[in-house]
Structure 1
Amino acid sequence: MSRFKFMEEFHAMDLSLFHSRKDICDTCVRFTVGEVVYNAHRVKADRAQKEKANNKLKDLTPAVFILYSDGCGYQNRNVTMSSALLCFAIETGKTVTQEILEKGHTMIEVDTAVPIIERHIKNSPIHCSGDYKRIIEESRRIPWPYVVYLEYIFFKDFSKVNTLKTIRPGRGKGKHVVTDSEPFL
C-alpha cells in the first residue's frame, strides 16, 4: 500500500494517533525522539521548580499574594485576568505575583487530586451541577478537598472594568507577545 493510499484511508476513517505523555512538555518529547537539544529548556525548567520551592519556604507576609497559573493564555495571560488582579491588589493593598508554571515541569498540589476526582466522576451519575460537589467531597478523604458551591451572584464580569488596554509587551509584527512574558504582575 502506498503512503498516499494509507493516508487517504486513514482520514476517510477519521482516525488519529494519540501519544500518551502525561505531564511531559513538548520540548522534552522532542528531545526524547532526537529532534532537539534542550539544555536551555532544562535550565529554565529547573529554575521554575526551584523558584516554586523557594516561594513555599519563604516567610510570606499576608501582604503578598502568589497566584500559580498554568501557561494557558486564554485563561491566565489576558487583559481581563490582569485587570482583575490589579483591582484586587489596589483594593486590598496586597502585592500580587502571578507565577506561570513551566509546562510539564512544575506541578501544583491540586494536580494530584484531579485524576482521583475524574475517576469518581466517570463512575457516578450526574444529574445536576450539585452532583459535582458531592462527588468531589466523596472522592478524596485526606486531605479533605475544599468545596464551595458557588452561585451565580458570586461571579463578576471583569470585562466591564478592564483597567488595562493591553498586556502585550511589544507593538507590531515580530515584537514580543504575551507568552514571552515570564514574570507577570
Structure 2
Amino acid sequence: METVCLMFIENTVLKKNPAIKPLCRYTFDCTLKERNIAFQTPKKDKFDTCCSYESKNLDIQIYEEHIRRKEQARDEKNRDKVLGAKKEAIVLAQDMQAVKVCPYLNGSALYYKTKLVCHNFTVFDINTHHCVCYWFNETEADLTANTFASCIVDYILQLKDLSKPVIIWSDGCTYQNKNVVLSNALLGLSVHRNTTIYQKYLERGHTQMEVHAAIERNLKKSLIFTKRLL
C-alpha cells in the first residue's frame, strides 16, 4: 500500500515539476513518521461465498455463478439508471441504516448507560438524489414488514407523477424487502394508482447502496444529545 502511494506521489510530482529530483524511500518513511502520517488499508467485509472460495473450500462453479449473478444485477441497475436519467422511470434505492443509539457521546460513563435504539430507513431517488429518511426509535415502531411497507408506500404516494414505472432496488433482507406483506402493499398501490412497480434485488454480499456512506461520514464527528422534558 505504501509503495503504491509513493509511486503515485513521485509520478504526479515529476510530471508537474520535471526538474525536481525524487528522494529515497528512507526519506519518505522518515517524513511520514515525523508528521505522524500513516496509510491504512480500507476495511471491507466480504461475503461468505467469496471467503470460502478464497480459502479453497468452495467449488469454482458455485463461485462463478455467484459472480455472474452479481454482475447481472449491477448491469440491470445501471440500465435502470439510464432509464431514470431519460425520465422514463423513477428509480429508487431503499435500505436500512445500521442501528444508531441516543445519546451518542464520547463520555466513558455513557458506555454503561441504557441508550435509546434508533433506526433510519432511507428511500433514495438515484437520479434526482432526493432522499427521505424515515427515522424512528424503538418506542415508536418495530422492525417488521408492516413498518417498512408503510414507509415505502408513503414515499410513493408523495410522488407527483406516477405515469412512469417505479423501480425499487434493495438487498434481499427477508423481513425488510423480500416478503409477502411488502409485495401485497405494492401490488395494491399499483392497482389503486394505476401504475407499475418493480422490485429488484442485488446479489447477496454485494449490495452497496448510494446514501448511507454519506450519512455515516457526517455522523462520525457529530454528537447526539437527549433532552429531558419537564
Q: With structure 1 as the length reference, what TM-score do the two structures score? A: 0.51
Unaligned runs of 5+ in 2: 1-41, 90-162
The CA deviation at 1:23 is 4.6
Cα 1:119–1:54 change in 2 (3 A) is same
Q: Does 1:48 align with 2:51?
A: no
Alpha-carbon RMSD: 2.3
Hey, which of these two has a bigger chunk of strand by percent? 2
Deviations 1:82-129 (A, max 9, x none): 121112211221111011111232422113224324524xx413316x
CA shift at 1:29, angstroms? 1.6
Alignment correspondent of 2:54: 32
Q: Indicate which of 99, 104, 108 corresponds to 2:209.
A: 108
Following TM superposition, by how much is the alpha carbon of 1:32 offset from its aligned partner in structure 2, in angstroms? 1.8
Structure 1 unaligned blocks of 5 or more: 1-19, 129-185
SS at match of 1:27: helix
Note the alpha carbon deviations across 1:56-84, whole angstroms, 9 max, x for none.
01242442001111110011111211121
Q: Name 2:183's counterpart in structure 1.
A: 82
Q: How many residues align?
A: 107
* Cα distance in 1, alignment partners of residues 218 and 184 from structure 2: 32
Contact 1:70 1:100 survives alignment (8 Å): yes
Amino acid at match of 1:87: G
Instruction: Specify the structure having the higher radius of gyration (Cα).
Output: 2
Q: Which runs of 4+ in 1 moved over 4 A?
A: none
Helix, strand or coil for the counterpart of 1:74? coil
CA gap of 1:69–1:98, structure 2 versus 1, over 3 A, is same
- CA distance in 2 between partners of 1:97 and 1:33 (Å): 37
Look up the match of 1:11.
none
Residues 45 and 105 in structure 1, CA contact (< 8 A), matched pair in contact too: yes
Q: Per-residue deviation at 1:44?
A: 0.8
Q: 1:117–1:73: structure 2 CA closer, same or farther, 3 Å change rule?
A: farther
SS of 2:223's equivalent in the other structure is coil
The residue type paired with residue 64 of structure 2 is N
Could you tell me the percent identity over the aligned residues? 33
C-alpha separation in 1, matches of 2:45 and 2:79: 22
Structure 1 CA distance for aligned equivalents of residues 182 and 218 of structure 2: 27
TM-score norm. by structure 2 comes to 0.42
Aligned to 2:170: 69
